[in-house]
A and B are shown apart, each in its own frame.
Chain A
C-alpha cells in the first residue's frame, strides 16, 4: 500500500485501530489532488496560496522524496508570516535573480534582476533606467570623469569595484550593488583599468 506524502515507516508501531491507515485516510478525505496544487509561477505565488507544490519543483526542495506534499494551511503559520519569510528565501540566493541596489543620496533601495542583463553594458543601461539616467552607465564603462562608482558586495562580504572580472563570474558572486559618489571614494587610489 503506497503511503504517499507522510513518509510513514511500514514497520512503525502505532496504537491506532488495526487496519486504519492514516495516510490513506487523509488522502481519501482530502483527495490527493486537492492537497497538492502545482505551482504556477514564482515563489511568491506559492507562498500566498499557502500551498507548496511538490510536482516540478522537487529539485529545489532539498532531499525530499518526490511524493512529499504539503497540506493546505499546514504548518499552521499565518499567511502574513509566510509571505515575509518566503520573500527572504527567494531573494537572498546569490546570483539568482534579484539583488538590491542602493545609490548614495537616494532614500530608498531598488531591486533588480541581474539575470536579465547580458553583460556590463546592459547592466549600465539598466542602472541608468533604475535611477533616472544619472550617468551611472558611464561610470561602469570606465569613465573616470563620472560622478559615481559602482561597487558590489560579493559572496565573502567584501565590497568590490564592478567591472574587473568577467561577467559570468560577476553575476555568480554579486549579492548586492551600490552606487557610490566618487567623492566618497577619493583617496583610495582608484586606478583606471588597464594600468599596471
Chain B
C-alpha cells in the first residue's frame, strides 16, 4: 500500500488535522497506523475513563496537545455529585514521568488541583497553552504556579470554572520576562485583582489578542488596559459600571475607537445600560457578541447596540431582548451563524418576552444560521415547521421550553410534528435537544430521519420503551445519548447492547431502568463501565433478589478499553 517512503507519507499526513480524519487514516493499514501514531501531535479524548494515560502515551509518544473531558454533560445541571470523578492528576503525573513534550492541555469538566497545576508548570519546559472549561478543585495558588513557571505561556484561558480565589498575587507571578501572552481569560475569578500587576502584564504583551477580565476590574482600569492593548481582538469586559460623564468613561470611549481589531465582545457581568454606547463605533466590526450575563441591560439598549452589528456571526443574549429585539437581530445580522437565547428569570415564571415568534423571525432573517440554543416559555408545531423550512442547515438545534411537558400552546397537542419537521429538513443535524410535550412519535421521526445525529438530550418525553428503541435503532451515528425523567426501562436498555460500543456514553436518570437490567448489561458487556450513582444512600442498593423491581436513580454507562476505574467514590457503584 505504500508507494512512498515513510517521510513522504508523514508529510502528507501533516495536512490532515481533524481528529476524525486522523483516526480514519490510522485504520487503513499497519504501516499507515505506525506512521500516523508517531506523527500525531494533537489527541482528543472525549471521556477520560475510556482510556488511561499509559496506553495513550504508548501509542502517541510525540504528543504535544491533549484534550480531556471528564464528567458527563448533565453534571452542568447539578445532576452529578461533585466527587464523582474526572481527576486530571494521574494524567499529568503520567505525562510528566514520560517526559513527553507537552505544549497544550485543554480540560473540560475535570477536577484540577493546585498540586496538578504546580506539577504541570514544572514538568514541561515548552508548555504554552492551558484551557480549563467548567473545571473545579483549584485556587489562584495553582494559577500562580502556571504564571511563575511556564516561561513560554501563550494562553491562559479559564472559562466558567469554580476557582477558590485566595485574593493572592497570582498576576504578579508572571515574571517581567514574560511577554508571550496571547490569551488571558480570568473572567470567572470572583476576587479582587491586582490592577497594577495586570496593567503591567498587558503592557508588556504585544501579542495579546484575547483579554477577558473579571468583575473586580473597574472602568478606569479597563480604559487604561484598552489604551495599552489596541491590538485586542477579543475583549471580556468585567464590571462595566460607570457614570457617563465621568473622565474614565471618556477615556474609555477614546480607547475603544482605537481598537480597530476588536471582533469579539463579552462580559458585562454588571453593567449600567447607558454605557453600551461607548462601543457603538466598533460594532460594525464585531463578529461575536456575548451579553448573556448582562441582566441589568434593558432590551431597548440591547437593540440600539445590535442595530450597529451587521457583521455578527455569533450572538449570546438573554430572553429579555424579547421577540421585538430578535426581529431586529433578524433584520440586521444577516451573517448570523450561532444564536443562544438564555433565560433571564430562573426563579419565577420565566420571562414571557420571547416566544415562538422570535424564533421564526430569526429563522426567516438569518439564512446562515446553523446553531441555536433557545429558551422560551411556549412553542407551536406550526412555528417549528416554519423554522425547519427556513433553515434546513441546522447542525445544532436545542430548544428548551421552560415548563416540562408543555404542549403546543395553540393546539394543546404534543410537539412531535414540529421536531419531526426539524429532523426531516435538517439533514446535517448533529446535535438535538428536545423539550415540551412529546410522545413516542417524535422518536420515531428522529430514528427515521436524523441520520447524522451524534448527540441527543431528552427530558420529560416519550411514552414507552419504543421511543428509546427508535433512536437506538435508527441513529447510526449516535455518540452521546442523555435522558432524564422519561419512561424508558430495561427493555429499551437491553435491546441492543452492542450499540453502546459505537457510542461514547449513555446517561439515564429518573427513568425506569432497574438494578437487574443494569446488572445484565454489565454481565453481557464487560467492555462497558456501568455506573450507578445513588447519592441518597451511600450504601449499595439492596442485593435482595428484588433487583428487577428496584429502579435506579442515575445510570451512566460508557465504553472503555481499560476496565473499571479505581477512583470512584462510595456512592458510585460500578457493576
Residue on B nearest A47 in the bound complex, by CB: B346
Residues in A whose Cβ lies below 8 Å from that of B433: 76
Residues in A whose Cβ lies below 8 Å from that of B487: 25
Q: Which of A84-92, A121-129, A136-144 contacts B (4 or more CB under 8 A)?
A: A84-92
Evaluate whether A76 and B76 lie within 8 angstroms (CB atoms) in the complex, with A6-B405, A16-B463 already known: yes
CA distance A170 to B434 in the complex (A): 49
**Chain A nearest Cβ from B340, distance in angstroms:** 11
Inter-chain contact A82/B346, CB cutoff 8 Å: yes
- Give the residues from 49 to 92 in chain A that come closer than 8 angstroms, CB to CB, to chain B: 49-52, 60-64, 68, 70-82, 84-86, 88-89, 92
Render B180-192 as a binary contact track against A, CB cut-off 8 A, 1 for contact: 0000000010001
How many A-B contacts at CB < 8 Å in the complex?
134
B419 within 8 A of A: no
A185 within 8 A of B: no
A188 within 8 A of B: no
Residues in A whose Cβ lies below 8 Å from that of B79: 72-73
B403 within 8 A of A: yes
CA distance A36 to B386 in the complex (A): 37
List residues of B whose CB falls within 8 A of some A CB. Answer: 74, 76-79, 134, 160-162, 188, 192-193, 195, 216, 218, 221, 239, 241, 243, 269-270, 292-293, 295-296, 342-349, 375, 400, 402-405, 407, 411-414, 416, 433, 437, 439, 441, 457, 459-460, 463-464, 484-485, 487, 510
**Chain A nearest Cβ from B334, distance in angstroms:** 28
Mind listing 7 A-B residue pairs with CB under 8 Å? A9-B412, A14-B414, A15-B439, A63-B349, A76-B400, A88-B293, A159-B243
Most buried by B among A15, A68, A72: A15
Evaluate whether A52 and B346 lie within 8 angstroms (CB atoms) in the complex, with A29-B485, A30-B510, A89-B295 already known: yes
Evaluate whether A107 and B459 lie within 8 angstroms (CB atoms) in the complex, with A8-B405, A77-B346 already known: no
Inter-chain contact B412/A26, CB cutoff 8 Å: no
Inter-chain contact A22/B77, CB cutoff 8 Å: no
Inter-chain contact B349/A64, CB cutoff 8 Å: yes
**Chain B nearest Cβ from A87, distance in angstroms:** 8
Residues in B whose Cβ lies below 8 Å from that of A72: 77-79
The 10 lowest CB-CB distance pairs between A and B, nearest first, are A73-B77, A50-B78, A78-B76, A88-B295, A80-B160, A73-B79, A13-B412, A107-B195, A108-B192, A76-B77
**How would you classify the secondary structure of chain B's contact residues: helix, strand, loop or mixed?**
loop
**How would you classify the secondary structure of chain A's contact residues: helix, strand, loop or mixed?**
loop
Residues in B whose Cβ lies below 8 Å from that of A108: 192-193, 195, 216, 218
Evaluate whether A80 and B77 lie within 8 angstroms (CB atoms) in the complex, with A6-B404, A30-B485 already known: no
Inter-chain contact B77/A50, CB cutoff 8 Å: yes
- Give the residues from 107 to 155 in chain A that come closer than 8 angstroms, CB to CB, to chain B: 107-109
Inter-chain contact A29/B218, CB cutoff 8 Å: no
CA distance A102 to B241 in the complex (A): 11
Inter-chain contact B484/A80, CB cutoff 8 Å: no
Residue on B nearest A76 in the bound complex, by CB: B77
A45 within 8 A of B: no
Inter-chain contact B342/A80, CB cutoff 8 Å: no
Inter-chain contact A14/B400, CB cutoff 8 Å: no
Inter-chain contact B404/A89, CB cutoff 8 Å: no
**Chain A nearest Cβ from B522, distance in angstroms:** 23
Residue on B nearest A29 in the bound complex, by CB: B510
Evaluate whether A107 and B218 lie within 8 angstroms (CB atoms) in the complex, with A8-B405, A85-B295, A100-B241 already known: yes
- Give the residues from 17 to 59 in chain A that come closer than 8 angstroms, CB to CB, to chain B: 17, 20, 22, 25-26, 29-30, 46-47, 49-52
For the complex with contacts A7-B403, A68-B349, A72-B79, 18 further pairs of A-B residues with Cβ separation under 8 Å are: A13-B412, A15-B416, A15-B441, A16-B439, A16-B463, A26-B460, A30-B510, A50-B77, A62-B349, A73-B74, A75-B400, A80-B188, A85-B295, A89-B295, A100-B241, A107-B218, A107-B221, A109-B241
Inter-chain contact A76/B134, CB cutoff 8 Å: no
**Chain A nearest Cβ from B104, distance in angstroms:** 23
Inter-chain contact B296/A92, CB cutoff 8 Å: yes
Most buried by A among B342, B347, B459, B510: B347
Q: Select one of A14, A52, A60, A79 contacting B78, CB under 8 A.
A: A79
**Chain B nearest Cβ from A94, distance in angstroms:** 12
**Chain A nearest Cβ from B119, distance in angstroms:** 26
Residues in B whose Cβ lies below 8 Å from that of A17: 463-464
**Chain B nearest Cβ from A76, distance in angstroms:** 5
Residues in B whose Cβ lies below 8 Å from that of A47: 346
Residues in B whose Cβ lies below 8 Å from that of A52: 346-347
A12 within 8 A of B: yes
Evaluate whether A79 and B76 lie within 8 angstroms (CB atoms) in the complex, with A13-B412, A64-B348, A73-B484 already known: yes
Q: Select one of B243, B293, B345, B463 contacting A84, CB under 8 A.
A: B293
Inter-chain contact A15/B414, CB cutoff 8 Å: yes
Most buried by B among A17, A49, A72, A80: A80
Inter-chain contact B414/A61, CB cutoff 8 Å: no
CA distance A25 to B511 in the complex (A): 11
CA distance A71 to B77 in the complex (A): 11
Residues in A whose Cβ lies below 8 Å from that of B188: 80
Residues in B whose Cβ lies below 8 Å from that of A70: 347
